[in-house]
Amino acid sequence: ELECDALCKEKTLHRVLRNVNSQLLVVRPDLNVAAFEDVTDQEMQSGKGMHFSIHCYKTTTPLAGMPVAFSVQVEDKSYYMCCERECGKMIVRFKEGEVPKEIPGESNIIFFKKTFTSCCSRAFKFEYSMERGMFLAFEEEGCLRKLTLKKLSKDEVDETMKISL
């Protein structure tokens, strides 16, 4: 009757991820980039790299938020989101492969889903499980709004971290 500490996949949601500007997150593995873009209805029908699977895991610590992992289909391949340290900075990457059914300990693919604000139940922020206070966000880089990890100071509300499902 004991519950193991491993995170076990509970359900999978299929969603597009939008930022505050109503742009969709689009993954382009060939360019090794994920960015929020304006997408036409026609492009959305084809759905290349923008229809995400959000894998929800059971947790024994619900206060941290719902543990989730992200994957996306591009062409006929599946990619999962993870974070890696590069030159002292955390980078969001998409790697080819499947999200595991069970995660025995810490993992660089897990994010904690939290409501963005108490009055905004349809928008969320996603905290990286291995580094408290680091959230998925977008960052202006030239004309791109690139997906990144960003530090949030305690009582701050940062619109770049607001993601609607």
Convert the pLDDT of each residue in 126-151 to its tens digit.
999 999 999 999 999 888 999 999 99
Residue 99 has what pLDDT?
A: 94
Please report, for the domain that includes residue 136, its CATH number.
2.80.10.50
Number of domains in the chain: 1
Residue 78 has what pLDDT?
A: 95
Q: Let me know if residue 77 belongs to a domain.
A: yes
Quote the domain boundaries for residue 74: 9-164
Q: What is the pTM of this model?
A: 0.91
- Element containing residue 44 per DSSP (H, E): helix 41-46
Q: Let me know if residue 3 belongs to a domain.
A: no
Q: Let me know if residue 34 belongs to a domain.
A: yes
Q: Let me know if residue 2 belongs to a domain.
A: no
Provide the pLDDT confidence category of residue 6 given band limits of 50, 70 and 90.
low
Q: Let me know if residue 4 belongs to a domain.
A: no
Give the tokens for residue 58: 């059971």
Q: Let me know if residue 160 belongs to a domain.
A: yes
Which pLDDT tens digit goes with each residue over 12-53?
999 999 999 999 999 998 888 999 999 988 888 777 899 999
Residue 4 has what pLDDT?
A: 55
The closest alpha carbon to 69, from 130, 132, 156, 159, belongs to 130
Buried b (16+ CB within 10 A) or exposed e, 133-156: ebbbbbeeeeeebebbbbebeeee
Q: How many CB atoms lie within 10 A of CB 97?
A: 13
Which pLDDT tens digit goes with each residue over 68-125?
999 999 988 999 999 999 998 899 999 999 998 888 888 999 999 999 987 777 899 9
Residue 1 has what pLDDT?
A: 46
Q: Let me know if residue 55 belongs to a domain.
A: yes
Q: Let me know if residue 127 belongs to a domain.
A: yes
| SS3 call for 4 | coil
